[in-house]
Structure 1
Amino acid sequence: MATSENTPGGASVDDSPTRARVAEAILRAGPSTAVQLAAELDLTPAAIRRHLDHLVAEGTLEAREQRVQERRGRGRPAKVFALTDAGRGQFAHAYDRIAVDALAFLRETVGDDAVRDFADHRLADLRERVAQRLSEVGPLERPAALAEALSAEGFAASTSRTGTGTQMCQHHCPVAHVAEQFPQLCEAEAAMFAELLGTHVQRLATIAHGDGVCTTHLPHPQATRPHAAEKVTP
């Protein structure tokens, strides 16, 4: 991100600190619109779009169509900007190293149960938001509604029907590097899916184990037993 531009007077201005702030804001908040980022970083619309265009061109960000649940007026949906894997990798060493060290300390001083408790606790707010969305639809519509709710949270989830249920893919995982060493994070997420859907679920692949996407099988409701999540097979 270390680039500079010339001002009208000929002086070179280093824009890389501002672009780093833009990327970090998206890291914290998830996919964001240009309007949201301009307001948070106190930048003009022209300035934020210039920085976003540069970050997209260099591969740090990607632009996506915003998913909107409620009815919209006329006009195209606003674009949201999200970190690419390459963009997220610029932050992985600092943030992930601290998280891994903290969880390792927790495991060594308190035990594995404390790590599992933490993994459950960090999902509490997400579980509440997703549960509200799922309460508005019937059992057969809940897998798709779950994917939509997760996408709104930055997980870029999608679903496809299979002969025995639904396959859900999450194309982004904000804790993948940490989950490589602490699979409790993946297990807690799968348990949350089972609780929200009232079915057992089966993890088929995870980004944390080196797969391209996190893939979860969600069986048809009539073919399931409630509230049991099968663990990931490394």
Structure 2
Amino acid sequence: MKNELPSHERAVWILKTRGAQPLSAIAEEMDVTKEGARFHLLKLEKEGLVQSQSKAEGRGRPKKIWSLTEKGHARFPDRHANMTVNLIAMMRQTLGDEAVQDVINANEKRTLAEYEEELKECDTLEGKVAKLTEIRSREGYMAEYQEKEDSFLFVENHCPICAAAETCQQFCQAELNIFEEVLGEEVDIQREEHIIKGARRCAYRIAK
């Protein structure tokens, strides 16, 4: 997808999905010269979307590391954030926490059924992880996975329901429950990074 974006938007995408990066890495990902990448980054810096800081690494001049600002992260929408947070607050006030949990459970059940239908033809763990990545990317989570020596690293670079999850962390538990169900009881899933705890992304270690 990032190759279909204008060059300056590709830089934003790279920093969102890869985290803070030096100029050389950004230039390589964009397939442009360092000067070309610097031009786009300086433009984005003027718009308040990216920032840089110097990082010393051994001898020599400190290296500039580029990252997204809060405004830059906001380029990736949190779907209906204010409305969702307000609805959760109103449900708690008028119906109580139990009603909120009932709604989350119902949504978990519905989502699980949809995922199971899409994964029913997958007969390997990698096939399931790949299909789950496709589904979650379609839903706005900017998902990807990497095969490790004895496991898979499943990553969501963005959370389109982050505001709701911060207000009601049962959403995150429901998400983990769904992953465990669709990938199988014999699979061990550990959340290693969590956006609402301050990480750049949510990352899961998946192993048999």
The verdict on a shared fold, with TM-score over 0.5 as the criterion, is: yes
- Say which is worse superposed, 169-178 or 140-149, in terms of deviation: 140-149
Cα 1:103–1:117 change in 2 (3 A) is: same
The 5 Å alignment of 1:15-164 reads 85-88=73-76, 95-140=80-125, 141-164=127-150
Between the aligned partners of 1:133 and 1:158, the Cα distance in structure 2 is 17
Cα 1:100–1:195 change in 2 (3 A) is: same
Between the aligned partners of 1:57 and 1:143, the Cα distance in structure 2 is 31
Q: CA deviation at 1:116?
A: 2.4
Matched residue type, 1:127: L
Between the aligned partners of 2:110 and 2:140, the Cα distance in structure 1 is 14
**Contact 1:203-1:215 at 8 Å conserved across structures:** yes
Cα 1:100–1:152 change in 2 (3 A) is: closer
Between the aligned partners of 1:113 and 1:162, the Cα distance in structure 2 is 40
Between the aligned partners of 1:126 and 1:202, the Cα distance in structure 2 is 20
The match for 1:175 is 161
**Contact 2:81-2:163 at 8 Å conserved across structures:** yes
The match for 1:19 is none
Give the number of aligned pairs: 145
Superposed CA RMSD in Å reads 3.2
Q: Does 1:189 align with 2:163?
A: no
Q: Does 1:215 align with 2:203?
A: yes
**Contact 1:116-1:188 at 8 Å conserved across structures:** no
Between the aligned partners of 1:155 and 1:120, the Cα distance in structure 2 is 21
The match for 1:13 is none
Between the aligned partners of 2:153 and 2:120, the Cα distance in structure 1 is 21
The match for 1:66 is none
Q: CA deviation at 1:126?
A: 3.9
Between the aligned partners of 1:201 and 1:117, the Cα distance in structure 2 is 25
Cα 1:110–1:139 change in 2 (3 A) is: farther
Q: CA deviation at 1:135?
A: 0.9
Q: Does 1:201 align with 2:189?
A: yes
Q: Does 1:165 align with 2:151?
A: yes
Matched residue type, 1:183: Q
Identity of aligned residues (%): 28
Between the aligned partners of 1:129 and 1:195, the Cα distance in structure 2 is 12
User: Structure 2, unaligned stretches of length 5 or more?
Assistant: 15-71
The match for 2:30 is none
Higher relative contact order (CA 8 A, sep 6+): 2
Between the aligned partners of 2:99 and 2:206, the Cα distance in structure 1 is 28
- Say which is worse superposed, 189-198 or 113-122, in terms of deviation: 113-122
User: Structure 1, unaligned stretches of length 5 or more?
Assistant: 1-30, 35-51, 64-83, 221-234
Q: CA deviation at 1:142?
A: 1.4
Q: CA deviation at 1:180?
A: 1.4
